[in-house]
Structure 1
């Protein structure tokens, strides 16, 4: 989340996309709509009365006509109509491509249009690669949900399931976030954009809730009141957040809110990892151990080595493995920095910084994030509950 801060600072001074105000782009859209959508050969009349139309006192506006600009004829292909493209939106897309192609030929700067780069449309999908990577994220998180559900079913003690429920709820929300991300990148409408933003914010807040409950041991029965209060506060905060966006949509506010919650969430994660590391460090260096150094290897039964970064290091002990989420978080933070160093799409105008960011987010879920959480809940959370209850009986 730290990598978003420089972007946040420049947001208030960012204006409309420069491509929107290009005269050539506006003339292109006019030409496409008149000739394609309305069947109006306006260029014939404009050429005949050009001198009259170009006079300052003329009531009519003269529009530039380029005979080299060619547009798709109506009706649109069925796959475009299925994705709700119409003649006007199709003209907008075609003119983005036409003007971008011309600017590339002249070695001019590539501009964004309507806040987006001029991607090459595939099967009617606006941002094909972002959709593919969003679906990959959906898939790996779905696999994680299956792992969590299986581990929860194996937990016989209801007290063991409390933190599992938090993590499962977070994962389901994350899956829905990637569903709406995919839909938004397929077709950019106001409703698809807003749903993408709402669920992205809900994902951040659900992670905040899950990690907060883990750090402050709210899974214990004695903390039922604080656990309930914390959940109610999070729900109320999200409701207020959505209400704020519905009544007064603001990209700047939305980003600030998500960054704030995300930074606190990362602090919670650091706290959890620090506590676990300290616990296993004390076990290894306990002066009461007459047999020498004791290394806890409980995590090995949860780890899949082919889905683990630096397996020779993190498989050495539970102490080292307790720090594994920090590496995954670092990878995500580095990937998120791609959003700051934005650049025009390459590889046939299909891949940009945002799609690469979606690629990076696949790896944490695939490379052991869910394995780590199952290990933590089973060995540490439930182990803590059992230890506390044992001390009570003594």
Structure 2
């Protein structure tokens, strides 16, 4: 061996074919969301009807009578009736030993100052802060000539954006905030996969040969994103498909990083970090797949998943910072490769 790195070349058409194949597979595996059992419970529906009749007949005035914290987050009298009746039925179910039911696709959380899921809001804010810290570090450490600089910074900013919308959605669930949360999340995952594939297979070392591949990969991911958003916008929102799409896109990034670590673990002392990150994030993902009633009506599996990702996001950026430092040290005195 002469010590030179092998060149990995991929035809752009293969990326488009792969993206189309994954899209078709996800559509086949898609499942249709159904109404929650609590919505159909006669005790709940009768309670809501009675509350609306007695408390919300003059709705503008009834809305104005709600506490300020509820009005600031756009709660209405009928929605407040749903919240109160949800917890009335939940208390009855607990007292009689029956199972806790979901209502409108959610567990019966206790709101705080009008915030629907306070634990998930707090953890979303902390995740966003970790991405912002990573952005600042990468912006400071990566010189402008470093080919991966723009990809790294855009990846971090899309991470911040995704957690901002996660915060908004968990604070107040509207159809628009739900879509903004899910669409920004899949966008961030796609950018993370683009970063992983570009870095793992060094699609920036030789601009003359790698630029068409990078562009083909970017176009394929943009096409996938457009198809994903269109499907979930113009057809009934399919929660099962959305989760499967996120898992598949995340798995692509994980496999790319593992392949990079296998090739570099002897020469890069920090390569182990990304393997630990992949293993930990995969294990933590079990919390997202699991589903159980919230502990103390605050902490459910989804909130715990958000809590688990906080230290993992920090660890992820520690790896990226180490990689930038190593690459910049190698690049000094050996020429600067420009991004095409």
Higher relative contact order (CA 8 A, sep 6+): 2
Displacement of 1:344 after TM fit? 0.7
Q: Distance between the aligned counterparts of 2:124 and 2:212, measured in 1?
A: 38
Work out whether 1:345 is the aligned partner of 2:333: no
* SS of equivalent residue, structure 1 residue 361: helix
Q: CA deviation at 1:104?
A: 1.2
1:332 alignment partner in structure 2:
281
Q: CA distance change for structure 1 residues 201 and 133 in 2, over 3 Å: closer, same or farther?
A: same
Gaps of 5+ in 2: 1-26
1:202–1:345 CA distance, 2 compared to 1 (3 A): same
Change (3 A) 1:75 1:101: same
Distance 1:202 1:10, change over 3 A: closer
**SS of 1:38 mapped into structure 2:** coil
Check if 1:238 corresponds to 2:225.
yes
* 1:387–1:110 Cα change, 3 Å: same
- CA deviations 1:264-291 (Å, max 9, x no partner) are 211101111112114x1xxxxxxxxxxx
The 5-angstrom pairing of residues 46-85 of structure 1 reads 75-85=65-75
Worse overlay, 252-261 or 337-346: 252-261
Q: Which residue of 1 aligns with 2:234?
A: 247
> For the Cα contact (< 8 Å) 2:31–2:239, is it kept in 1?
no
Tell me, in whole angstroms, the C-alpha distance in 1 between the residues paired with 2:196 and 2:303.
27
1:370 to 2:324 alignment:
no
Structure 1 residue 15: Cα displacement: 3.5
Q: Is the 8 A contact 1:36 1:74 kept in 2?
A: no
Deviation digits for residues 117-176 of structure 1 (CA, Å, limit 9, x no counterpart): 000010000001100000010111111111011012xx26x2x2x212111111100100
Equivalents in 1 of 2:336, 2:256: separation in Å? Answer: 25
Q: Over alpha carbons, which structure has the higher Rg?
A: 1
Tell me the CA shift for residue 334 of structure 1: 1.7
Give the 3 Å change call, closer, same or farther, for CA 267–183 of structure 1 in structure 2: same
* Structure 1 counterpart of 2:256: 268
Corresponding residue number in structure 1 for 2:90 = 100
- 1:126 to 1:384, Cα distance in 2 relative to 1, 3 A: same
Shift in alpha-carbon separation, 1:245–1:139, aligned structure 2, 3 A? same
| Distance (Å, rounded) in 1 between the aligned partners of 2:239 and 2:191 | 20
Written as runs of structure 1 = structure 2, the 5 A alignment for 1:128-147 is: 128-147=118-137
Distance 1:377 1:74, change over 3 A: closer
Name 1:16's counterpart in structure 2.
35
Instruction: Using structure 1 for the length normalisation, give the TM-score.
Output: 0.72
Q: 2:141 aligns with which of 137, 151, 164?
A: 151
The alpha-carbon deviation at position 389 of structure 1 amounts to: 8.3
Q: For 1:336-393, what per-residue CA distance to the aligned partner results, in whole angstroms no more than 9, with x for missing partners? A: 211333111112x111111000000001122x32121122133147727966989xxx
Alpha-carbon contact 1:142-1:175 (below 8 Å) kept: yes
State the alpha-carbon separation in 1 of the partners of residues 44 and 274 from structure 2: 47
Give 5+ residue unaligned stretches, structure 1.
1-7, 41-71, 281-317
Matches within 5 A, 1:171-190: 171-190=156-175
Equivalent residues in 2 for 1:106-117, closer than 5 Å: 106-117=96-107
CA 1:386/1:112 → structure 2, altered by over 3 Å: closer, same or farther? farther
Q: TM-score, normalised by structure 2?
A: 0.83
- The answer to whether 1:32 aligns with 2:19 is no
Q: CA RMSD in A?
A: 2.6
Separation (CA, whole Å) in 1 of partners of 2:30 and 2:174 = 21
Aligned 8 A contact 2:64 2:71 in 1? no
